Amino acid sequence: MSTQSKGELVDLLGIGFGPSNLALAIAVHEHNGSGEAPLRAAFHERQPRFGWHRDMLIDDSTMQISYLKDLVTLRNPTSSFSFVAYLHEKGRLIDFINHQVIYPSRVEFHDYLEWSAARFADQVEYGSEVTAIHPVLTDDRVTALDVHAVSEDGVTVRRARNVVLATGLSACLPDGVERGDRIWHSGELLGRVAGLGDARPKRLAVVGAGQSAAEVTEYLHRTFTDAEVYSVFSRYGYSAADDSPFANRIFDPAAVDEFFTSDTDVRQMLLDYHAGTNYAVVDRDLINELYRRSYHERVTGRRRLRFLNVSRPRRVTPTADGVRLDIEHLPTRTTTALDVDYVVFATGYRPSRPDRLLDALEPWLRRAEHDELVVGRDYRVLTDGRMSAGVYVQGATEHLHGISSSLLSTSCVRAGEIAESVVEAVRRTEPMATGSVPRGSGQPRQVLGS
Ligand SMILES: Cc1cc2nc3c(=O)[nH]c(=O)nc-3n(C[C@H](O)[C@H](O)[C@H](O)COP(=O)(O)OP(=O)(O)OC[C@H]3O[C@@H](n4cnc5c(N)ncnc54)[C@H](O)[C@@H]3O)c2cc1C
């Protein structure tokens, strides 16, 4: 493969171009339009085109945030990138108002994200996966970073003063379970179903009890009208998501400040108290719909939707024409074999660990207890004084910035804070180029330990 250096030094290089770095691109764009010294920004995205959890864009699935928590409104309500501006441009504003919803469909929100992303087509390199970040030394200081990315054209290296990692989530499967033609993760649902062509499975299983699990169960039951669908989970029943107004304040921008300044035990307490707003919970309407269908089938006697509660698949074995699940019923400790054509593990995600791209920077990184990166309130990774190049992280800091870290709720505010921090950092390191007087002490701004 060929390696080539690409373009000029940029002030900010975003790794990943999902909603988090898209919100950042908008914040930078709006900063650049403000008359202040502009930032040069570019982004790498490994997908061939913009896409937000495309294979879970199930018809009728809705957002779990208000449309006002879009890419900009909480930061800049007058932005031309708002969901309302999108509706206006698409000629649907009045129809949306008449629709009387605050949670738009995921399909519509995806269209909004694509509409916004299209305005940055010249800044994003799609089909380009970042594989490593190397220090650039001036004397003994790390003053820039070389970002290596692989695409079908070979390896490119781009130099940046600051990088922002927003690499999203990685699928979780139970230990020992490997994805395969008949063993899927929920994140690949629609692509896998499309791949079946005209084949009509007769028996399907879904493992998990969160929002994705309930959505996949509903979708498979509705789509394969002759198939039996088994939903397997260790809870007694699905738990309803807490979207009540007081609890919802845990997603407010102000909650990030309070969370960040709290002691570790208080942070953990808050995460435990409010897990029910986000983790392993399901929208109440969807729970009711699944119950309604199940009850209706009992009335008609044609039962094909089944719930195996308080149960766990203990063994998952591919067979010649399907998958065998050995399912343990936990109260009785009895195990029963269930043969299915396909099984979907809706067993969640974990944030992608940013560390894997930072190996070459290790000598300069500060580490906290349990070897975690130390990340400041401004999402900048704390490094020692010999490194002026910045590394920022979006999405993997729930233990420091709270439950909204990996979600969309505050992404526009977070993007604004990162853009501001990068502007300050560039001013400090390049006073002549921007023509402004350096501010601050030369130490990283607002970098607090965990
Ligand atoms: C089905 C589903 C529905 C959801 N619905 C909601 C919701 O309604 N409300 C909410 O607040 N949250 C929701 N979430 C949570 C979700 O984390 C956020 O919506 C959102 O995806 C976070 O944006 P992000 O940009 O940080 O991460 P992502 O959207 O995951 O984007 C990260 C991007 O980085 C790219 N990437 C990764 N590694 C590299 C690399 N090395 N080089 C180049 N590119 C790379 C990926 O291809 C991806 O495009 C949902 C999650 C799922 C799975």
- Concatenating the DSSP letter of every residue in 139-207 gives TTEEEEEEEEEEETTEEEEEEESEEEE---EEE---TT----SSEEEGGGHHHHHHHTTT---SEEEEE
Between CA 325 and CA 319 the distance in angstroms is: 10
Between CA 220 and CA 215 the distance in angstroms is: 9
Q: For residue 168, give the nearest of 10, 15, 373, 332 by alpha carbon.
A: 15
Domain ranges of the chain: 3-168+352-434, 172-241+279-348
Phi, psi of 261 (to 5 degrees): -90, -5
Q: Is the CB of 46 under 6 A from ligand 1?
A: yes
What's the one-letter identity of residue 421? S
Same CATH topology for 3-168+352-434 and 172-241+279-348: the answer is: yes
pLDDT for the residue 21: 98
Residue 87 sits at the vertex; the CA angle it makes with 241 and 46, to the nearest 5 degrees, is 70
Taking each helix axis from N to C end, the angle separating 253-261 and 411-429, rounded to the nearest 10 degrees, works out to 60
Q: Is the CB of 406 under 6 A from ligand 1?
A: yes
Among 13, 407, 418, which is best to mutate for testing ligand 1, by the most ligand atoms less than 8 A from CB?
A: 407
pLDDT for the residue 8: 84
- Say if CB 204 and CB 224 are below 8 A apart: yes
- Say if CB 145 and CB 163 are below 8 A apart: yes
pLDDT for the residue 445: 29
> Could you tell me the mean pLDDT of each successive run of 10 residues in the chain, 450 residues long?
76 98 98 95 98 96 97 98 98 98 98 98 98 96 97 96 96 95 98 96 98 98 98 97 94 96 96 91 97 98 98 97 98 98 96 89 91 94 95 94 94 98 90 32 28
pLDDT for the residue 446: 28
Closest C-alpha residue for ligand 1 atom 14: 407
Ligand 1 atom at minimum distance from 166 CA: 26
Q: Is the CB of 15 under 6 A from ligand 1?
A: yes
Among 106, 163, 167, 188, which is best to mutate for testing ligand 1, by the most ligand atoms less than 8 A from CB?
A: 167
Buried b (16+ CB within 10 A) or exposed e, 48-80: eebbbbebbbbeebbbbbebebbbbbbbbeebb
Among 17, 43, 52, 53, which is best to mutate for testing ligand 1, by the most ligand atoms less than 8 A from CB?
A: 53
Enter the tokens of residue 310.
Answer: 């308080």
CATH class belonging to 3-168+352-434: alpha beta
pLDDT for the residue 213: 98
What's the one-letter identity of residue 434? T
Would you identify the CATH topology of the domain 172-241+279-348? FAD/NAD(P)-binding domain (3.50.50)
Between CA 315 and CA 178 the distance in angstroms is: 12
pLDDT for the residue 7: 67
pLDDT for the residue 432: 35
pLDDT for the residue 2: 65
Between CA 346 and CA 137 the distance in angstroms is: 45
Q: Is the CB of 409 under 6 A from ligand 1?
A: yes
Phi, psi of 311 (to 5 degrees): -135, 150
pLDDT for the residue 352: 85
Between CA 56 and CA 188 the distance in angstroms is: 7
Enter the tokens of residue 255.
Answer: 């909650």
Between CA 231 and CA 228 the distance in angstroms is: 10
pLDDT for the residue 428: 87
